Every structure is written in C-alpha cells, then in structure tokens.
Structure 1
Amino acid sequence: MDTFTQILELDEDEENHDFSQPMVWEYFEQAEKTFGDMDDALKQRDLNTLSGLGHFLKGSSAALGLSRVQDSCEKIQHLGHRLDGSRQLSDDEALAKITKMVKRVRIQYGEAQKWLKDFYGEVAL
C-alpha cells in the first residue's frame, strides 16, 4: 500500500485521479499483452523470452506496489534462467514450473485488477 499511496499523492484531483488512474489502466494493457506474449513463449519453449517477460512485468508491478504479482514474476524470471533457488533445472523442469507460475500470477493479477477497479469505481472485467 505504501507504493500505491505515494502514486495517489501525485493526483492533482483526488476524486478524478488524473495521474494514477491512467497509469493503472496502462499497466492493465501492458500486463494483458505480456500474458499473451508469455503464452506464445511457452508454446515455443522459449525460456529466455519468458525470463525477460517475467522481468518486465515484475518491474511494472513493483511500480504500483503489487508485491504478490511482482514476486511471482521474479520467480518466472529466475526459472527462465533455469534456476530454482540455487538449483539448476532442465529445460523441461523450468517450463513445467513456469507454466504453474503463469497460472498463479494470472490469478494474482486478476485479484489486483479487481481491487484497483473497485478502488477507482470501475466494474472489473
């Protein structure tokens, strides 16, 4: 909440959220595109791309203070490098774990999206 509260402080109009709401909506668009790109990379078994996409979504999630999404994306980033903690993984192991993490992060993202849309008075999809 600390990060999100700091973003809200940048709104000139507290009722219209002229700064924060467009920022959040842009995040939604980026996240949806990133999830589609992750699906494509999973089909192609492209661990390097998956790592990069995890890194990208981790950063934009952190910017809004979405720590659960951020943490899961960081795991995807590391798994894309075939690392699970200090353990080296095979491609198949890494892809299996990333597949599970993508499902988990989609759920976490959906929860965050619902909360943010409720906050801004929008109906969640």
Structure 2
Amino acid sequence: MSSTPSPTPSDEERELSTNSSDLIDHETFDQLLEMDDDDEHDFSKSIVWNYFEQAETTFGSMDKALEDKDLEELSKLGHFLKGSSAAIGLTKVKASCEKMQHFGNKKDETGTNDITENDALKKISSLLEKVKDEYKEAETYLKNFYNERENP
C-alpha cells in the first residue's frame, strides 16, 4: 500500500463548493469523497449514480401516490428520499423531502400543527415540482463535478 494520503478535495473542488453551499452540504459530500481509493472517485461516483436511479424511481412513485391521494405513501416516500439525500449531502432535496414527509402525515412543514388532507395534497403537489427542480439542480452539479474529474 502506498504512503499517499487519502484523496481530499482539491482547491478546484473547494472553489466549486463555494458556488453550491445552499445545494450541497460539503462536509457530508467531502466525507463521501474521502472513501474513494483514488483520484478517479469511482466509489463515490457509484454511490451518487445509484442515488440518481433511486431518486428517479422514487419520483415516479411519488407521482403515482399523489394521483392516488395516498398521503401515507407520500410521507413514506418523502422519508425515504430524505435519508438518501442526506447521505450524500443534498441539503435542498433533503429539506423538501422532510416537508413532504410532514405533509403526508397531515402536519405543517415543521411537523407540529395539523392540516387538512386537502391542504396536505395541495402543498405536496406544489412541493413535488419544487423538489424535482432541486434534484435536477443537484444532479447537474454532481454530474459536472464528476465529469470534470474525468476530463480535466
């Protein structure tokens, strides 16, 4: 085994991070990058690409649950995607999924006050579009991040 230290984010990667601090929790994402064995970031990239597949599938399930007005399922799906998003540091997506989880439980966005089923469905409907946009923003950022590593 070589004596080179584990790869850590470069100055260029840190510069990228200053433009995305509201999108990505860089402390969490940096921890993921530190698990890579090399500068190619193969391990972290595989985790992120699996997340993309998982998120796309989950959004399809969310659309169906919203169509079916299944608040319980929407809450479960929000909880699930919240955890996956938190694991790689997607702060906006995580926060929106947490709100969806609360709305699915007929609570306000803080999870403390009751709301009606109708209000919950209206809030989830607009929130779902917002979280998809936030996801696309994060997906673009992360794909650019990894593509820049592959094509310097």
TM (norm. structure 1) is 0.94
- 2:84 matched residue in structure 1: 60
Q: Which runs of 4+ in 1 moved over 6 A?
A: none
Please list, as runs of the form range in 1=range in 2, the aligned pairs for 1:28-107 lying within 5 A after superposition: 28-84=52-108, 85=110, 86-107=112-133
Residue ranges of structure 1 left out of the alignment (5+ in a row): none
| Amino acid aligned to 1:120 | Y
Deviation at 1:91, TM superposition (A): 1.0
Aligned Cα RMSD in Å? 0.9
User: Is 1:8 matched with 2:16?
Assistant: no
Deviation at 1:11, TM superposition (A): 0.5
* Match among 108, 113, 116 for residue 134 of structure 2: 108
Q: SS of the residue aligned with 1:13? A: coil
| Amino acid aligned to 2:106 | R
Deviation at 1:90, TM superposition (A): 1.2
Q: SS of the residue aligned with 2:42? A: coil
Q: How far apart, CA to CA, are the structure 2 residues paired with 1:101 and 1:87? A: 18
Q: How far apart, CA to CA, are the structure 1 residues paired with 2:134 and 2:71? A: 22
Deviation at 1:18, TM superposition (A): 1.6
Q: How far apart, CA to CA, are the structure 1 residues paired with 2:140 and 2:75? A: 26
TM (norm. structure 2) is 0.78
- 2:50 matched residue in structure 1: 26
Deviation at 1:87, TM superposition (A): 2.4
Residue ranges of structure 2 left out of the alignment (5+ in a row): 1-25
